[in-house]
Amino acid sequence: MKMIKNLTATVFAAAVSFVSVTCAQAEDTIKIGIDASYKPYAYVDPDGQLAGFEIELIEAVCSEIKANCELSNVPWDGIFTALETGTIDMIGTTVTMSKVRLEKNDASRMIYRVGFAFMVLEDADTSKGIEGLKGQAIGTIVGTQSYYDYIKSVLGADTDIRGYDTADAAVLDLDAGRIAAFQSDNLQLEQSYVSTGNYKLVGQPTFDPKYVGDGRAWFFKKGSPELVGKINKGLDAVIAAGKVDELGMKYFKTKLVTK
């Protein structure tokens, strides 16, 4: 029986066990790295196990294509380096398909679309909308160029942007008043923070392709057509079977756009 399991390489920040049985016979292993610090996409549950939307989706695809997949928790700031050095074969964190990234890497088919949004404290004055954030410090996830580009485009090139390794770290600074808003994708903001009643979005999320790209996908080293084709076959099947819709309702309380 095949299993999705953890790599033990010291390059990874955490050794988190995750096992999923499939029905395949032995074949080449697909090493998948995922940043498990973005709940509900991927996170470590109280039992120390990897959980979340991306984890279950990877499990479904690996089962569909009868692949032996090894899944490891890889911090975002080192995930593309791990891919380029061959430590992993695939980035299982769903990544925005920006022009810059597609020039450097191969990508799977589009898995779903997401919008960009700004989040502030519930009692913050949002009467001026996004315009009211100009001239203030804005937090976002470090190394996510599409976020930086979006913030500069709508708030100005000289905006004080502060990068954080995790969303929780940014929100701690938001709570403390060290930043005026946290910018990230709308699904994460709405389900992880706005749903608590302590935060709110500023205006409506944008789905403009010039900011959010062509949706989110899994990424591979440039020149990986065989692996990409295999993963796409599995994605096509699980999407057609309604699995992404099911996971969208489970983790985001909405069906995700997959076209």
Shared-domain flag, residues 124 and 92: no
pLDDT for res 106: 98
Q: Give the CA radius of gyration of the chain.
A: 18
Q: By residue range, what is the domain housing residue 18?
A: 2-112+217-252
Give the residue ranges of DSSP H helices in the chain. 53-64, 76-84, 99-104, 145-155, 167-176, 186-192, 209-212, 225-240, 243-252
Mean pLDDT by 10 residues, the chain (259 residues): 41 40 57 93 94 96 96 94 97 90 95 94 97 98 92 98 95 98 92 93 91 91 97 97 94 82
Number of domains in the chain: 2
Shared-domain flag, residues 12 and 103: yes
pLDDT for res 7: 43
User: Is 258 within a domain?
Assistant: no
User: Is 12 within a domain?
Assistant: yes
Distance CA 187, CA 193 (A): 10
**Model pTM score:** 0.69
Shared-domain flag, residues 97 and 129: no
Sequence-distant (6+) residues with CB within 8 A of 251 are: 40, 41, 52, 53, 191
Shared-domain flag, residues 175 and 245: no
pLDDT for res 163: 97
Q: Which two tokens stand for residue 80?
A: 């593309």
User: Is 232 within a domain?
Assistant: yes
pLDDT for res 207: 87
User: Is 248 within a domain?
Assistant: yes
Shared-domain flag, residues 168 and 195: yes
Shared-domain flag, residues 104 and 225: yes
User: Is 59 within a domain?
Assistant: yes
